[in-house]
Copies of this chain bind each other. A is one copy, B any other.
Amino acid sequence: MNEQGSVGAVQPQTMHFQDPLRFQSGAVLDSYDLTYETYGELNAAKSNAVLICHALNASHHVAGYYADNPMNVGWWDNMIGPGKALDTEKFFVVGVNNLGGCFGSTGPASLNTKTGKPYGSSFPVVTVVDWVNAQARLADRLGIESFAAVMGGSLGAMQALQWAISFPTRIRNAISVAGAPGLSAQNIAFNEVARQAITTDPDFHGGDFYQHGVVPRRGLRLARMIGHITYLSDDAMMEKFGRSLRSGAVNFHFDVDFEVESYLRHQGDKFAEYFDANTYLLITRALDYFDPAQEHGGDLSRAFAAAVARFLVISFTSDWRFSASRSREIVKALLDNRRDVSYAEIDAPHGHDAFLLEDPRYHALVRAWFENIHGNLAS
């Protein structure tokens, strides 16, 4: 095992696309940018590329740091780097900000050259299928015919699964961590409350707040607070905050008494500073709409009939947002198709957030999977 390290200072790049992209909705984006980062080297056979798909509020910045901001470390830096579970000395890793995002790729805050104004409310509703299509075009331009693996957690896992369905011959391994084959009614309900918090904020202006020089901060803040509750398990929250009081006693007011209140407000405030409200709507809608079984009469097994990738599916026992049973639905559907699938249910206490944390069993599993891929690589 190599010494584990950082990929070091990294630089995002932006690729411009002129070919119009037709979305599932029928809407067309005439041209667009995708912002991405890469780590490691693409081998001569171009067989060692791994695509990392991001979840709700993450981006193309998956590993390393920025020279001008060393504190800004990639969101999956504990997983990806030289000698790490996904070893950048062996693999060429690509992270990409999805369309509709707010970290460089074309999204609602981008200028629509046709109107000279930000897209705002006119940015089309984008789906996981659309994202995967855009990612495939980026792969084309990077000269990657087939990914050794596509990997993601949560919403990122949905993209990995969609890759196996949309482009069966362009993905050799799909790694789904803390994923689900579609949202439950409760999942949709939480998304809906978050969206309602944003769209009913008077500063939202129907999505065209950019022109008004305001941001629907109150709505974004609430959306993020709700999100944070669902990312942590009840037990993890109890462990982290308990009923601890900021001042040691209750103060008979509605300001912060409990540590957990302080935490949520802080997270909400931070988020409202940098995240785009329209992107939040788009991404939660992409989550709601992801449902590969739908066009097969609700039969998930049939949805995976064309997939030929090998699958690694990982879930966490304390994840109540996308519970282990949802991952087992994926595994069952793959087994119905006699696909090559490994499944691990990891007894971790951290809830949905566990996919971002450095659990040694989880990382060892991913490491072993990639070592096996590497052993079989065409070089």
A238 to B325: give the CA distance in the assembly, Å: 14
Tell me if A139 is interfacial: C-beta within 8 Å of chain B: no
Nearest chain-B residue to A265 (Cβ)?
Answer: B196
Determine if A184 and B222 form an interchain contact, defined as CB atoms under 8 angstroms apart: no
Nearest chain-B residue to A245 (Cβ)?
Answer: B294
Determine if A185 and B237 form an interchain contact, defined as CB atoms under 8 angstroms apart: yes
Chain B binder among A145-153, A156-164, A248-256? A248-256
Q: Report the copy number of this chain in the oligomer.
A: 2
Nearest chain-B residue to A218 (Cβ)?
Answer: B200
Which single member of B124, B243, B264, B291 contacts A182 (CB below 8 Å)? B243
Tell me if A183 is interfacial: C-beta within 8 Å of chain B: yes
Interface of A is mostly: helix
Determine if B264 and A192 form an interchain contact, defined as CB atoms under 8 angstroms apart: yes
Determine if B185 and A253 form an interchain contact, defined as CB atoms under 8 angstroms apart: no
For residue A37, give the distance in angstroms from its CB to the closest CB of chain B. Answer: 30
Interface extent on A, as a size class? 35 or more
Determine if A229 and B193 form an interchain contact, defined as CB atoms under 8 angstroms apart: yes
Determine if B258 and A281 form an interchain contact, defined as CB atoms under 8 angstroms apart: no
Tell me if A197 is interfacial: C-beta within 8 Å of chain B: yes
Give 25 CB contacts A-B under 8 Å: A24-B252, A125-B253, A125-B254, A184-B238, A185-B260, A186-B229, A186-B232, A186-B237, A188-B258, A189-B228, A189-B229, A189-B264, A193-B222, A193-B226, A196-B221, A196-B265, A196-B268, A197-B197, A201-B218, A202-B202, A222-B222, A243-B291, A254-B285, A257-B288, A320-B320
7 closest A-B pairs (Cβ-Cβ)?
A: A25-B252, A125-B252, A185-B237, A185-B241, A186-B234, A200-B218, A185-B260
Task: Kindly list 11 other residue pairs between chains A and B, CB separation below 8 angstroms, not including A25-B252, A193-B222, A222-B222.
Answer: A183-B243, A185-B238, A185-B240, A185-B241, A188-B243, A189-B229, A189-B261, A192-B225, A196-B225, A254-B285, A258-B288
